[in-house]
Structure 1
Amino acid sequence: MSTIAPFQALRPDPQFASQIASKPYDVLNSHEAREEAADNPYSFLHVTKSEIDLPPNIDIHSQEVYNKAKENLQSFIEKGLLLEEDNPCYYIYRLVMNGRSQTGLVCCSSVDDYEKGIIKKHELTRPDKEADRIHHMQTIRAQTGNVFLAYNSVGAIDDVIEGWKRDHAPVYDFVAGDGIGHTVWVVDDKGTIAAITSLFATEVPFTYIADGHHRAASAAKVRKALGKEASGAADYFLTTLFPSDQLQIMDYNRLVHDLNGSSVEEFTDLLQKEFFVGKVEKAFQPQRLHEFGLYVDGGWYKLVAKEGTFSTDPIGILDVTILQKNILDKLLAIKDPRTDKRIDFVGGIRGLQELERRVDSGEMKAAFSLYPVSIQQLFDIADSGEVMPPKSTWFEPKLRDGLLTHLI
């Protein structure tokens, strides 16, 4: 069963919350982060992407960058922008995007649960990304990045959370510049905290990492690295738990630099061995499993996988697997999408227009649009112990960094 704990969050003075709250560090590159924070000295990007306060040619993985993050975090605390909670609390975090809302519980989850597989994974991690978060956490002694966990919905938990939202005023409530609403409630009643802890311990056998595999893996390795220096806080890591029935996964699309020596006509001919291929008049967003869009030379094609191109096991049935096996690997010789420089990935939040833009600019040769993975597919794969192909899921809306930080 799931072990969670309340914590004393480092969080903004309410008057500064909307200015401090920033997009997650891993959805922006350094240039985008500089632009995002250019006119906002309170942006938490000064902590999570601290290279923006150093020369543009800085190595973003240098110790100087991590030291700057620590300096900036301490400055925020000294100026009273960030305050530490007096007592351990839970936090309720509601996100609203395009009229759809989802509400999660911000808490600390057990590193032991992660290592024992009670917190289930579905992706491999990259050592370079782990190393970055490990150095960041160790230097600033805080977890700033939230791990997004999902669990099978439990009515009793929903009732407690909805009751608290109904009966208490939020501490933060604002709409960010991208139109996404962020509302946070502090759960500071000891009885309610105990009830929530007990419900997860008795009613939630497993949680599933939806987004944040690198942050979770890094937290476990930081605890080990700290050894005797580790406080009890290092036994836990910052998470937000969402019931599965409130979540939506968006498509995660692919772009390729070339067609592996084939012309467009040759490539579409090759596709017809494994797919039904037809030209369409406008951007094609797949509406069901095993449909794909292809954008190349200014035009869109609809692809439908033929029988025999996929299996019924949890991994084989995924459209990302079908694409990888039958097109990227077989036709384009892209064997490992985690390391091959000829492929790139675009989250569905950016729209099909972003695929068209990057192909039309000449930066990429072709793009593929996919039907999104479902929550149940994610759970099935994690339960089977299998690993999804990289960049299979894109969750929106995303939690903001800086609203709730876990000190270790």
Structure 2
Amino acid sequence: MDPPSWLTRTSSTPWCGGTRVYWNVQLGDHTQPELCYRSPANLPSVRILHWNSPLKVWGARRHRFAQHFHTLYMTYLDYDGGLLRRRLFACPDDGAEDDQDQLLAEDASGANSLAGPAAAGVSAGDECYEMRAEQRLVRRTHLYYLEYNYTAQGPHDVTLVSQLSLDRVQLLESLSRHWAGPISLCIYVTDAEAHQLATFVESSQVLRHRRNIAYHLLMKEGQFYPVNRLRNVAMENAVTDFVFLLDFDFLPSLGLYEHLRSEIARFSAQQRQQRVALIVPAFETFQYKLQFPASKAELLSRLNLGEIVPFRQEVFREGHRATDFTRWKSATQSYPVTWQADFEPYVVIGRDAARFDTRFVGFGWNKVSFIMQLDILGFAFRVLPNAFIVHLPHAPSLDVARFRFIPEYRHCINTLKVEYIKYLAKRHGVRALKYLSFRRDASGSVGSS
């Protein structure tokens, strides 16, 4: 007698007979496995279960081996590659080897750009030990996790660069609708979350056919969100010569990709000898269902109604004050602005212009330090008059809560600020010491990032 279609034996022993048979069981949607094997004597061990559809998984509850295999499956999802790296393969994790993004990179013009100092000699007695120790972690990285197929469309093409954790991934569909060009993302995930990311993208009608979104993974390890390391990974793996550095909780104005390409081309022709950072003005709304403004005129109308406001104007005005929103409202041509203390605009720059300093983890001074670096490298800042981004409301992250409510956290940010400025002075001369006079105590600002 032939076995049913849902049961395939892996031994020459007659099916459903003998105590040495091991079965490769393929469960159908209407499986009744109990009709074949009723006792351990009849079938002592099933080694393989074939669940190739959700219906089979749920329909397998009657299978007396189902829970066992489901437990094995869940255990597999919880496996941590970092654990395997340390315990199974005994890979070093003591930070002895230099991490690539801790080195000083030379840009095309020969000027040094800061990638972050190695945290050599970190002592457990240091009051900021936990924050410093994050620099020594060599996290696993998986570049181009999903299919990516894009070639730069000329020398003025631009990639939107951003970073996120999986809890923000639902915003990606909206971002994709607003930005048709290439996107380079670095996502902070566990091994199990990597699978969830793939499932989300493959099931999305908006994302499943996009091949110009690069998904790079940085695997979770440590206590803090390594925001600047994530940014560096995303930026270094952009395939265009220019990048638009944006936080993931913003939406760009409609048509911004095409607009930036034309602005890059214009400035490349006019500013051959000067390094320019193009500023895209940032705004925010506190309405979860706001209709996104389709143009600058509509944005100005929403500003007048108070539905949209300049970004962080109430909690950290210094971050974007230099943008000069009053001037932007009536501007028809780009205009220059000067660096100010705690300035942290969102900019378009050359991909190899600089790197974020990885000593700053979590929340606090991670973008401020980058813009300060651009200033000392001689970048001119120009504000684009017909471009904008809007921040979407969301619950604060754990690191924001740490910054706001833990004095020790803010103290360590202040300590790192001073060390960073001294490092700039060491690399670029005494002119960097001017930044010490601009330094503000972190306890006086609740929004600096």
The normalised TM-score by structure 2 is 0.21
Higher RCO (Cα < 8 Å, 6 or more apart): 1
Question: Whose strand proportion is higher, 1 or 2?
Answer: 1
